[in-house]
Amino acid sequence: MSEAPRFSARAFVFVGLLISGLLCIAFLGVVLAAAASTPHLNPIESLVLRLRLAFRSAELNRPLGTDSSVVCFTVARGADAASIAQQLVAQGFALDPELFRAYVRYFNIDSRLQAGTFSLPRSLTLAQLAERLTDANANTIVFRVLEGWRIEEIAAAIDRTRGLTFTGAEFMALVGAGAGSQSGEIGAFAARVGVPVGRSLEGFLFPDTYILPVCGTARDLVERMLANFDTRVTPQMRAAALANGLTLYEAITLASIVQREAVFDDERARIAGVYLNRLLNSRRTPPNPNIPTTLDADPTIQYAIGNTRNPETWWTRLTPEDYRSVQSPYNTYLHKGLPPTPICSPGLASIVAVIYPERTDFAYFRACPNSGGRHTFSRTLAEHANACN
């Protein structure tokens, strides 16, 4: 009967050393693998964070809230991951601040965290939330204001724009009647440009495309629009308006009429010139009998009617009776001079046309049928009557 092989103590030591060596090699391999994927960390810190995140992977992929409500979250300039985590907890996100710090540290997200205002649904996971905080520019909304819109149309566009956190009613509360009594820049702007007491900011909300923070306020939008106006309508332009005998408020009022009247840019300065001939004639004593003293501008009557006739539009088609039957200070067929306020937001081309008008002796213009919106200009009433013949 043969005897079973026996292992000497030396053999056991050898096997132990071999196993230990293999474990060391394996450990070193893990450390090196971790280090290779996280070059911003030292190997030991990388391994520790990797193991920690692996043990808590379920938490990383679990929504931080049970509802889909959105939090407007602001990260201050210079805020670090620790302070951001504490702020998130304070705003109701069910996360472990230490786990958040470990996650953003391991994936080098902490170096990419940005200052700004973010729209954060509570249903995000920790990983999704951390990534959201690296791109403040992704949390913006494009909002476009068209030339020729009145303030009510801007308000309606606000209510149609998905993602905005304020309403058209909040916008109207800032820019409507009595805007000059608003605090801060809004009231200061109204005083600076001469908006009469009790009037709105109609005409001064510069039409343009605005990139808004998703959690911005109505005040943010209004102040951006007013700052845009201040930038576009330069001091030189304002001085030129005064040289033409117009205050800035009067120039914008007339520009708003030109905006609604002109279809083609190359006619704006000539239309503005006709209106200026009439406006200045209404101020003469005595007036020139060959030039009307009323503007006779259809858009001002449309502004007076608003959407009362057709809820689908603020610029209803006029009837011949409207020129005499619409009793309003905005009826420039019945009342001399400018209407009480601008009637829409004019674009820069219309403002420039009023400030630098085409100087002619034309006193009339009309768009003939099938003209495509182009106007025929006349010097006398007889020419005007036959303009489309």
In this structure, the strands spanning 209-213 and 140-144 are antiparallel
Q: How far apart are CA 41 and CA 146, in angstroms?
A: 52
Could you report the per-residue pLDDT of 238-258, keeping only the tens digit for each?
999 999 999 999 999 999 999
Q: Is 34 part of a structural domain of the chain?
A: no
Check residues 36 and 222 and name the one with the higher pLDDT. Answer: 222
Domain termination site, one of 138, 173, 206 = 138
Which sign does the torsion angle of CA 29, 30, 31, 35 carry? positive
Amino acid type, 246: L
Q: Residue 127 is part of which domain span?
A: 57-138
Number of domains the chain contains: 3
Statement to judge: residues 149 and 248 lie in one domain = no
Domain termination site, one of 111, 138, 165 = 138
Q: Which residues contact 288 (CB under 8 A, 6 or more apart)?
A: 281
Q: Are 136 and 114 in contact (CB under 8 A)?
A: yes
Domain termination site, one of 70, 103, 138 = 138
- H or E stretch at 258: helix 248-261
Statement to judge: residues 167 and 94 lie in one domain = no
Statement to judge: residues 91 and 208 lie in one domain = no
Q: Is 9 part of a structural domain of the chain?
A: no
Q: Is 50 part of a structural domain of the chain?
A: no
Could you report the per-residue pLDDT of 46-97, keeping only the tens digit for each?
888 989 899 888 888 889 887 777 788 889 999 999 999 999 999 889 899 9
Backbone angles phi, psi at 119, to 5 degrees: -95, 110
DSSP 187-201: HHHHHHHTPPTT---
- Measured in residues, the chain has a length of 389
Q: Is 41 part of a structural domain of the chain?
A: no
Top mean pLDDT of 100-114, 213-227, 246-260 is at 246-260
Q: Which residue, among 227, 268, 278, 230, has the nearest Cα to 355 in the 3D structure?
A: 268
Backbone angles phi, psi at 142, to 5 degrees: -85, 125
Burial class (CB in 10 A: 0-12, 13-18, 19+), 289: exposed
Q: How far apart are CA 171 and CA 304, in angstroms?
A: 21
Q: Are 355 and 336 in contact (CB under 8 A)?
A: no
Statement to judge: residues 264 and 358 lie in one domain = yes
**Predicted TM-score of the model (pTM):** 0.76
